[in-house]
Amino acid sequence: MLNPDFLSPFLTTTGLVAIAEIGDKTQLLSLLLAARFRQPLPILGAILCATVANHLLAAALGVWVEGLVEPKVLRWALAASFLAMAAWTLIPDKLDEDDAPKTRNGVFVTTLVAFFLAEIGDKTQLATTALAARFDSVFLITAASTLGLLLANAPVVVLGNRVVAHLPLKPIRFIAALAFAMLGLVVLLGG
């Protein structure tokens, strides 16, 4: 039987990141990469590598901060960050012309670099930092946030516009915002 101390943080992180990623800038980047290169395996491999590296750093930062800050201050900071994420999630992302990946180094390297850079400061990276601080686990949260990101991006890379065109983005953003807000309130209330 699975340990609930493992299962709850893993499922919470996976679900939050997967929902928050829908309609996110990096998901739009995945769509652009899939349309440009039409090579799903190297794109997915590069997204996996970029996400693991990026979220490992984010989770390590979260656990490090958790060790430095008093529990009461950390609770308030985490609650505020989850509530801010809730508000941020309601704002639709757009992919700028400057964000379009360059293709000098092949599909894998181009995707790896573009995705890693696009994820810096992104809401899923910041969520990973906050969740790692909340659950005090670098590897568990990195694995869960990476899985959540891949759950949202893999269908886009494989199926492209056929999937994204039919997603109800407004309700999905609202659900993600509600989930972040609820997590913020749980943390604020000491849960």
Considering the chain, what percentage of its residues have pLDDT values greater than 90? 31
Angle at 173 between CA 168 and CA 162, to 5 degrees: 35
Residue 73 has phi, psi (to 5 degrees) of -65, -40
DSSP code for 102: P
Q: How far apart are CA 86 and CA 21, in angstroms?
A: 13
Say whether pLDDT at 5 is over 60: yes
Q: Are 116 and 29 in contact (CB under 8 A)?
A: no
Q: Where are the alpha helices (DSSP H) in the chain?
A: 4-21, 25-37, 40-68, 71-89, 106-119, 123-135, 138-159, 161-164, 169-188
Say whether pLDDT at 27 is over 60: yes
Q: Is the full-model pTM beyond 0.95?
A: no
* Tens-digit pLDDT profile for residues 135-179: 989 999 999 999 999 999 999 898 876 665 666 667 766 776 777
What average pLDDT does range 34-47 have in this prediction?
A: 89
Angle at 94 between CA 115 and CA 111, to 5 degrees: 15
